[in-house]
Amino acid sequence: MTGLALKVLLVVLLILFPIWIPIVAISHGIYLRRLRRAASAFACLSCGELLGLESIRLADEAWADYMRQLHEQNPGMLLQVVRSVHAICPKCGARYSFIEGERTFAPANDGAALAKA
């Protein structure tokens, strides 16, 4: 890409900035609403308890701990990580991944990564 093309692309992105930021914020809000609704209606496959909003909070905490641990173990490295656990059953600790297209959960395939967190 030439220098002029890069400059034009940068100007276009800056002009569109007030448009795409709200679009990103709204789409993230829609995602969170779908996640919460799915968690409120999904029964744990291990114990039968409804996951509920607490399961999302537990998964967020576990993920934050996991990421903090990764950054401590790899200081200064740029990490590219895909989140695999979106809900943790408050009763039995079973972990689930959110499948947004189907608006449901499936058992997480996270190995033992979050178990240490």
Residues of this chain that bind Zn ion (CB under 5 A): 44, 46-47, 89, 91-92, 94
CB of 103 to Zn ion, least distance (A): 19
**Would you say 70 or 91 has its CB closer to Zn ion?**
91
CB of 47 to Zn ion, least distance (A): 3
- Tracing tokens 């990764």 back to the chain, one arrives at 70
Pairing of strands 95-99, 104-107: antiparallel
Q: Among 56, 108, 113, which residue's Cα sits nearest to residue 85?
A: 108
CB of 98 to Zn ion, least distance (A): 16
Please enumerate in sequence order all residues whose Cβ is within 8 A of that of 34, keeping only pairs 6 or more positions apart, or say none: 100, 103
**Would you say 92 or 106 has its CB closer to Zn ion?**
92
**Would you say 29 or 48 has its CB closer to Zn ion?**
48
